[in-house]
Amino acid sequence: MLWRGGSERIKSENYSQHFRNRQNNNPQNEGFFKFLYSEIATKVQQFVERDSHQTGHERLNVNFDHNLRTGTIQFEHNTMRFTLYDLPCVIEMMKTLDNKTVYKIADLCQMIVANVPKHEPRKEEPEEVGDAKLERYQWPDGICPPLKNVRRKRFRKIKKKRYMDVADVERELKRLLRSDLEAVSVRWEVVAATEAEDVEMKQTQPTNEEVASQHDDLYEYGLSLSESEDEQDPADGSRTFVQRHSDGRIVAPSAVDTLAAFIFIGGIPRSGTTLMRAMLDAHPEVRCGEETRVIPRILALRAQWKKSEKEWKRLQEAGVSDEVLNSAVSAFIVNIIVGHGAQAPRLCNKDPFTLKSTTYLAELFPKAKFILMIRDGRATVHSIISRKVTITGFDLNNFRQCLQKWNAGIQIMYEQCNAVGRAKCLPVYYEQLVLHPERVMKRLLNFLNLPWNESVLHHEMFIGKDISLSKVERSTDQVIKPLNLG
């Protein structure tokens, strides 16, 4: 190894005369870095330390190839092949004349590595382009032993900043405006920049309704799904648990309706929630219907009100107490579930993110049962990305970020499920459902207090008849296929 940086160490008392001699003989400050094998390195170092600028071209020649990355070094009678590598970072070369004051003389960013001379003919190396060419000539280490593999340990790749396309901004703006038009009422206010932020409410153990809002900040995603079905008009006919006016309007449910044994199916999207809903829909005593996409929004709005101290204070001043709010939310949910399909002894709802409020729903509907669909996070995220299922908060270009979002969401749902107990909430693993459908469904129907029926294993026979699937649902092409019962 050879290094030289423009000057050698000299005694401070003689530096003036030495500097004048060096200035006259070598007006340029040279700096270079080479790796040579030991036999040649000693000779080259002795040669460079003398006045090499006078006779250097006669003994030492450096010739580059056309790619400016490789070439040959000829020193006396030795010819060596070399490669020019990029160092992990720029190294500043300093110069001193009195061992006290230092001056920067050059920046060192590349290094020549010479190989042991061989007599075989040189082989043409394949031409590389793009990142492969750049990475090939990146030196992984520093210039001293402690900096081994410093490029990987200290100089990581810079994360590329994503810029939102104009079309994406326009699409999002249209979606917001369309939501305003569909809303029952819209209210806006001007908030000063210095106004204090909303204070988060204190969290308690997972036994009360506060658990339902323990991680409500994660409601930022999951309320807009491209895999969800489009809402359809309710079918004609009488409804269970509600009364109707002569014109067909549904009357607000009475308090006894909250004792209905509803079935709620949820989980992270692409975890088998649609398959589970279709299999239960095939049971003659159960009616689920298509995904509404409404109930999670109602629960999220209620959670936001409870989370914001200012908003909750305004509601209380307007006479909206916990009892009033709970009654309104339960009435909304009952009307949505009952009015979304035909009559049946047991009604169920499938909205994936509904189970983020399991404890709250268990308080509203004491006899309700909950089914939490769980699938391997890697398979779930792969399905979300490959099928391009748009979920608010999920970056489909970042696999790691999607896994983190999946982990946070399923953790909340699992904690909520444990809080209400196994008597009310049953985790069902998607992999076990498709591998052993009969065994899993028998256990599930026993949990729901429903008699066994073979039709749940042949849901594909009822699709288009008693079971309706949305055309825009991303899993429709899979759910219509039969299960492997072999």
Give me the mean pLDDT over the 55-61 stretch. Answer: 67
Residue 387 C-alpha from the chain's centroid: 15
pLDDT of residue 359: 92
How many residues are present in the chain? Answer: 486
Residue 18, domain member (yes or no): yes
| Residue 91 pLDDT greater than 80, yes or no | yes
CATH number at residue 348: 3.40.50.300
Question: Which among 153, 169, 194 is the end of a domain?
Answer: 153
Higher pLDDT, 196 or 274: 274
- pLDDT digit string (tens) for 427-484? 999 999 989 999 999 999 999 999 999 988 988 887 766 676 665 555 656 667 777 6
Least confident of 1-10, 29-38, 381-390: 1-10
Domains held by the chain: number: 2
The CA distance from 396 to 404, in Å, is: 12
- pLDDT of 164 reads 60
Are residues 280 and 352 both part of a single domain?
A: yes
Find the catalytic residue in 227, 229, 290, 291.
Answer: 291
Could you count the other beta carbons within 10 Å of the beta carbon of residue 28? 7
Q: Distance (Å, rounded) from C-alpha 337 to C-alpha 242?
A: 11
Residues 256 and 136 reside in one and the same domain: no
Residue 347, in any domain of the structure = yes
| Same domain as 115, residue 261 | no
Residue 403 covered by a domain: yes
**AA letter at 140:** P
Judge whether residue 421 has pLDDT over 50: yes
Shared domain check, 134 and 248 = no
Task: Indicate whether 426 belongs to any domain.
Answer: yes
- The answer to whether residue 422 scores a pLDDT higher than 70 is yes
- CA–CA separation, 29 and 57 (whole Å): 17
Is the distance from CB of 222 to CB of 391 less than 8 angstroms? yes
Mean pLDDT across the chain = 74
Identify the helix (H) or strand (E) that includes residue 444.
Answer: helix 437-447
Quick one: pLDDT band at residue 221, thresholds 50, 70, 90? very low
Q: Is residue 420 part of a domain?
A: yes
What is the share, in percent, of the chain residues with pLDDT greater than 90? 17
Tens digit of each residue's pLDDT (9 = 90 or more) over 351-370: 888 999 999 999 999 999 99
Last residue of a domain, one of 110, 127, 153: 153
**Residue span of the structural domain in which 14 resides:** 2-153
Distant-in-sequence, close-in-space partners of 274: CB < 8 Å, separation ≥ 6: 291, 350, 469, 473, 475, 476, 479
Distance CA 394, CA 430 (A): 22
d(CA 199, CA 220): 17
Element (H, E) at 22: helix 15-25
Q: With bands split at pLDDT 50, 70 and 90, how would you rate the model's confidence at 54?
A: low
Q: Is residue 401 part of a domain?
A: yes
Residue from 176, 227, 177, 265 nearest 394 by CA: 227
- Please give the span between the terminal C-alpha atoms of the chain, in angstroms, as a whole number: 69
- Regarding whether 114 and 215 lie in a shared domain, the answer is no
Any idea which residue has 């049962």 for tokens? 369
Q: Are residues 215 and 137 in the same domain?
A: no
pLDDT at 8: 39
One domain for residues 142 and 271: no
Which has the higher per-residue pLDDT, 267 or 193?
267
| Global pTM value | 0.50
Is 322 within a domain? yes
- Judge whether 415 lies within some domain: yes
Does 352 share its domain with 457?
yes
Q: What is the pLDDT of residue 137?
A: 86
Whether 291 is catalytic is yes
Indicate if 149 and 215 belong to the same structural domain. Answer: no
Q: How far is CA 86 from CA 91, 113, 404, in A?
A: 11, 11, 36
**Average pLDDT in the 341-357 region?**
87
Please check whether residues 317 and 431 belong to one and the same domain. Answer: yes
Q: Show which of 118, 153, 188 is a domain's final residue.
A: 153
Question: In this predicted structure, what is the pLDDT of residue 420?
Answer: 93
pLDDT at 80: 86
Burial class (CB in 10 A: 0-12, 13-18, 19+), 62: middle
As a whole number of angstroms, the longest Cα–Cα distance in the chain is 114
In this structure, the answer to whether residues 251 and 397 fall within a common structural domain is yes
Is residue 405 scored above 70 in pLDDT?
A: yes
